Structure 1
Amino acid sequence: MAREESGEHRASARPALVSTGVVSGRQGFDWWTQMVSRTVMPVSVASEHADRFKGMATALELTGTEVSAYSFSPMSARRTHTHIRRSDLESYFLFLVHGSPIGLEQRRNNTLLKAGDMAVFDSSQPLECEFQDHGRASRVTLMRLPRSVLPLPGDGMDRLVATPLSVRAGSGALLTSFLAGFRANATQENLPELQRLGAAGLELAATLLAAHLDTSPALPVETRRTVLLARINAFIDQNLPDPDLSPATVAAHHHISVRLLHLMFRQEPETVAAAIRRRRLERGRADLADPRLRHRTIAETAARWGYRHPADFSRAFRRAHGISPSDYRHLAQSAD
């Protein structure tokens, strides 16, 4: 059994990252049950696979929330009033299902969630959760939503727990993308970027839940701004290959003026145009360093990320990195 933890001795301003290698067998199952009770909330866990149990976990503590990803053998979890009296974070937990189906019951709501589904449960109410055995591991991503930072009515949330949430469009689709990419982001993004992602994820969650409760107008102005900004950033990322992508097209797609778009980005580290330029160069640099793409010419790489002329890409790349794209590719791939 391998286990790695980091973050206990970090400064409080830094995210705390906790991860495990694959735990297995009865000893791994015993450690797993203790870990779940410690890092999520106290529950009773049972599994027919306890003697051959396998599990992996990654958790990241961010400003105002924590996000965690788990992969494990089929099991069941039960939280009772006794568990709640022992420890209650007074939080909701939003979770996204990736693997085998999950049966969830809370406050007389009962649902079966499949891969791609999302739901919410309440740490202050008893619940039962069944991670079913469909020949593959259960995989979920959790986001903790403290009541103290969630501007939503508790009686409405009581009706919403253990019911499927609509996540095919809008804030739900963005939140799904955010949670699905968590494991990679937790290890690759820099710390300030992770903090911004955490704040954006929290705002997206609040907006998604408010939409289901029909209380969107009650959300604070800053929450609505953050969600719109998250949508704008997602639109930029998805449309980097389009050479016509510009502040004007971004504003038009979101039905706001270019002036308002620039005002929104005043609090960001860079302007809209600068964000587009940087992200195109980052994607191009990643392609150049990828040995699987060595067959692709510099011109093809430039075109893939929205440059009409390869010379424009080469000049921008040299200004940003002090080296030509071809020389960078040679150095990056020879280092491998």
Structure 2
Amino acid sequence: MIELSSADVPAADRFAWWCAVTERELVPTVLSCSQTDDFQVSLTILQLGHVTMTAPRFNLLDDMRSRRTSKLIRHSDPEQWWLTLVRAGSMWLEQDRNHAQLSAGDLVLHSTSRPFRCAIRHHNGKPAGTIALQLPRKAVKLSDRLLGGHVARTLPSAHGVAALLARFMESILQQRTALGEAENGRLGTVVSDLATMFLAEMADAAHVVPAGTRQQALAQQIKGFVRLNLARRDLSPSTIATAHHISVRYLHHLFQYEGQSIGQYIRHQRLERCRADLTDPLLSNQSVAQIAARCGFADAASFNRAFKTAYSVPPGDYRTSRLRDRVDDRRALQD
């Protein structure tokens, strides 16, 4: 992982520094911004196997504009598809006569192998930011002919595989400090498969995606569904299979490759959610039984047994200990 910040550079040199960083770490472009005297930006770079994830964050009062020309492409081209999620602020992008106006939550596709223009702007004075997946064209099992017509088009991420992909990108970025090299490689495979499936659906070409990629994307979609529906008492292999238009038998087949059954996955996610909620000060007025019910456990007794088996301590004792540790940490900071 690489973390870069203009705060580490003298104010007068920051824009020139950013131009050099984008050429070296991203893709060569011509940059422009009226706020060059104190250019404020940070950049996170994660190498996820063959996929590079980049997340710039701009704290600017003016647009940050970028232009990739034919001359720059002839000089240097990584031959990548970029799939970008707007996290904050807004963005516009032009490529191949398409023009996308994007706001927070939108996705957009473009190619490094053809000229483009784009700009990032703040919203109400707040920083703007994006997350981009830099996908090697050879790794995306879809032809340029299929994807070319979909560049620079606004792609909402509110539903389906798009929503799952956007949440997955955000979660990788948020957990980046806890990830090791082996985990990054596995995550790169998963996010590449999700991106490929999303792009295939967008291009109405899901049938050309390899079966393994489709299975991986479906497994991730099912996991996302489970995490969003932990409170449902009727969450079961049957209801999950029905929601995804597959048989229960095929659902169990998918999870053979996950190292645990679908039932084990549901229970683990419920326990992890309860463990997080038990240490949340905002939920301190709720009893252990109430928290268990919120996470889909039918009764307090079965929850207590499952929690103690998983974490070797009763949930009440775990909560008391962790909340006491929080108080001790705050006092230590005040001292």
**TM-score scaled by structure 2?**
0.88
* Alignment partner of 2:32 out of 39, 46, 68: 46
Aligned to 1:291: 281
Aligned to 1:144: 134
Identity, in percent, stands at 35
Q: Which amino acid aligns with 1:18?
A: I
Q: Distance in 1 between matches of 2:159 and 2:38?
A: 39
CA contact (8 A) 2:6 2:39 kept: no
Q: Distance in 2 between matches of 1:253 and 1:320?
A: 29
Q: Distance in 1 between matches of 2:71 and 2:18?
A: 20
Q: Which amino acid aligns with 1:92?
A: W
Aligned to 1:94: 83
Higher deviation after alignment, 257-266 or 79-88: 79-88
Matched, 1:20 2:4: yes
C-alpha displacement at 1:177, in angstroms? 2.1
CA contact (8 A) 2:49 2:184 kept: no
C-alpha displacement at 1:190, in angstroms? 6.4
| CA RMSD in angstroms, aligned pairs only | 2.0
Q: Which amino acid aligns with 2:224?
A: A
Aligned to 1:131: 120
Q: What secondary structure, in the 3-state scheme, does the structure 1 residue paired with 2:15 have?
A: helix
Aligned to 2:161: 171
**Residues 1-336 of structure 1 mapped to structure 2, 5 A cutoff:** 17-21=1-5, 23=7, 25-72=11-58, 73=60, 74-134=63-123, 135-188=125-178, 194-336=184-326
Q: Which runs of 5+ in 1 are unaligned?
A: 1-16
**TM-score scaled by structure 1?**
0.88
Q: Which runs of 5+ in 2 are unaligned?
A: 327-335
Q: Distance in 2 between matches of 1:333 and 1:253?
A: 38
Aligned to 1:11: none
Higher deviation after alignment, 117-126 or 66-75: 66-75
1:60-113 deviations in Å (ceiling 9; x for gaps): 111231222221133111112332233321110000112222121122222222
Q: Distance in 1 between matches of 2:276 and 2:121?
A: 38
Alignment coverage as a number of residue pairs: 320
C-alpha displacement at 1:193, in angstroms? 5.2
Q: Which amino acid aligns with 1:40?
A: L
Q: Distance in 2 between matches of 1:178 and 1:31?
A: 30
Q: Distance in 2 between matches of 1:58 and 1:267?
A: 31
1:126-183 deviations in Å (ceiling 9; x for gaps): 2111223543322111011111111112123222211222533221222222234342
- Where does structure 1 differ by over 6 angstroms across 4 or more consecutive aligned residues? none
Q: Distance in 2 between matches of 1:82 and 1:330?
A: 63
Q: Distance in 1 between matches of 2:98 and 2:229?
A: 40
CA contact (8 A) 2:289 2:300 kept: yes
CA contact (8 A) 1:69 1:182 kept: no
1:179-227 deviations in Å (ceiling 9; x for gaps): 3434213235666555444322212211222223222211111121112
Give the direction of change, closer, same or farther, for the CA distance of 1:269–1:280 in structure 2 (3 Å limit).
Answer: same
